Amino acid sequence: MMIKRSFFGLAKPRFAYESANPAKPEKISMPKIVTLFCKTPYRGNGLLAVGEKVKTGQKVLLYGDSDAYIISSVTGTVSSVSSYIGDFGKSYTAITISASAQEETEDVFGKDPAEISLENAKKFLAFSPGAPALEGFSESDKSKIKTIVVCGVDTDLLMFTQQYVMKNRTEDISKGISILKHITGAESVVIAIPRADNSDSKPCGMKNAGAVGGASGAEIREIRSEYPAALPHMIAKEVLGNVVTAGKTWEEIGISFFSAEAVASVGQAFRSGRVPVNKVVTLIKKDMSKVLVEVRLGTPIRDIFNAFDVTLNEKDRIIIGGPLTGASVYSEDFPVQPDTDAIMVQDAESISAVSDYPCINCGECVRICPVNVPVNMLVRFCEAGKYQDAADMYDLYSCIGCGLCSFVCVAKIPIFQYIRLAKYELERMRLANLESEEAANA
């Protein structure tokens, strides 16, 4: 992370995205087990029981209430199906598969072009690397989403997963864009890449993006190389000229965002007939050195630490994601998910402790907020659990989730965590109200 100015000066500090040209990812050996998460509680929607054999690419579980499947990333035997409690007490289903040495792979698509459909993409690719965001598209209303944005830059600092994919998987990305245009009916596809500070240090992906755009008919747009320019709200505003009204969904606005890896997964899947199962991840070590790793989806992060000699001591912290928007996990058994772009390990000594100090009204959080949220007031209401007031009076829904306010808070208040919790609780209440209304009308 490059910090170009002092934190506490009058001007806002600048954070630059990675512009390194990463080497090819190092593949780690096949894991002994993989754990696949479904982000909803288990509702008896397993397609295979404990003890049953499964091939790589085979369907194992329906993804929540949708028609999408969780796909096995290894060949082996289902060893358990259990609950997992994640952030804010949210309940997931965890399916664990013991991998066998002999791999057999199942084809899910044939060679018939008719099989290249939105229905098949939604069913089979929701769990593929990059987690393609297909749920907003509908076969019956193809005019809903007009623009697809392919993000060829990572959304947080210190990582270069998407920049690597953008540079090295040109063919799959071109194919993926053509397929997405065909199956979704989107009118335009825009590839967002970081703007180079100077011509000698062009971030990886720049030259190749031109080739991808030419082959697929997508438009290339450069974004500022400063964080948080690659976050969806900033791309919508600065690249597409679309100021997003707080609280509106991307579906309502008509834009859908895909990472470069998600688009490559779509291209690879329909080209090969198989669901991709390998994920690229940036490992950020305690000394801030970085390495790109290629692993099977569901690999426990312990396997990655073992392969790269990362030793965890008491009170060290594991973060899934980048330094500003990532979330802590407390077990090395946590598996690599389709959207796990980075794993960061922080040494206990370098972690600034969360304190009990109250807000001193210094205004740093307000000054750094890219969308002018009155953060000092917002955090008071979130802390007190007054979520609706936080939304009604202090712009909770204008927050684009960049995490900069937490980073600069001199009182070490976990502002971003409070904001996340507030949004999560309001959404939970909205769904509960919807359910009771539906039950009353039934």
Task: List contacts with ligand SF4 (CB under 6 A).
Answer: 359-365, 368-371, 373, 375-376, 379, 399-405, 408-411, 413, 415-416, 419
Of 345 and 408, the one with the shorter C-beta distance to ligand SF4 is 408
Q: Which two tokens stand for residue 68?
A: 């999408």
Of 7 and 43, the one with the shorter C-beta distance to ligand SF4 is 7
What is the nearest approach in angstroms of ligand SF4 to the Cβ of residue 371?
5
What is the nearest approach in angstroms of ligand SF4 to the Cβ of residue 241?
20
What is the nearest approach in angstroms of ligand SF4 to the Cβ of residue 7?
10
State how far the Cα of 45 lies from the Cα of 209, in Å rounded to an integer: 41
Q: Which residues does residue 280 pair with via DSSP β-bridges, in sequence order? A: 294
Of 275 and 368, the one with the shorter C-beta distance to ligand SF4 is 368
What is the nearest approach in angstroms of ligand SF4 to the Cβ of residue 64?
27
Q: Which two tokens stand for residue 234?
A: 């900033």
State how far the Cα of 166 lies from the Cα of 152, in Å rounded to an integer: 5
Of 185 and 401, the one with the shorter C-beta distance to ligand SF4 is 401
What is the nearest approach in angstroms of ligand SF4 to the Cβ of residue 203?
23
Q: What does the DSSP assignment read for 404-422?
A: HHHHH-TT---HHHHHHHH
Q: What is the DSSP letter of 228?
A: T
Of 286 and 380, the one with the shorter C-beta distance to ligand SF4 is 380
Q: Which residues does residue 284 pair with via DSSP β-bridges, in sequence order? A: 290, 344
What is the nearest approach in angstroms of ligand SF4 to the Cβ of residue 416?
5
How many residues appear in the chain? 442
Closest CA to 332 of 348, 347, 317, 352: 317
Closest CA to 165 of 294, 270, 285, 275: 294
Q: What is the dihedral of CA 143, 339, 395, 7, to 10 degrees?
A: -130
Of 284 and 419, the one with the shorter C-beta distance to ligand SF4 is 419
Which residue carries 């066998």 as its tokens? 100
What is the nearest approach in angstroms of ligand SF4 to the Cβ of residue 17?
16
Q: Which two tokens stand for residue 419?
A: 């904001």
What is the nearest approach in angstroms of ligand SF4 to the Cβ of residue 380?
8
Q: What is the dihedral of CA 194, 198, 204, 208, to 10 degrees?
A: 90
Of 30 and 362, the one with the shorter C-beta distance to ligand SF4 is 362
Of 60 and 413, the one with the shorter C-beta distance to ligand SF4 is 413
Q: What is the largest CA-CA distance in the chain?
A: 65
What is the nearest approach in angstroms of ligand SF4 to the Cβ of residue 251?
21
Of 355 and 433, the one with the shorter C-beta distance to ligand SF4 is 355
Closest CA to 93 of 66, 62, 68, 67: 62
Of 13 and 338, the one with the shorter C-beta distance to ligand SF4 is 13
Of 78 and 375, the one with the shorter C-beta distance to ligand SF4 is 375
Closest CA to 232 of 254, 256, 211, 212: 256
Q: What is the DSSP letter of 120?
A: H
State how far the Cα of 150 lies from the Cα of 36, in Å rounded to an integer: 26
Q: Which residues does residue 15 pair with via DSSP β-bridges, in sequence order? A: 3
Cβ(189)–Cβ(195) below 8 Å: no
Strands 342-346 and 278-284: parallel
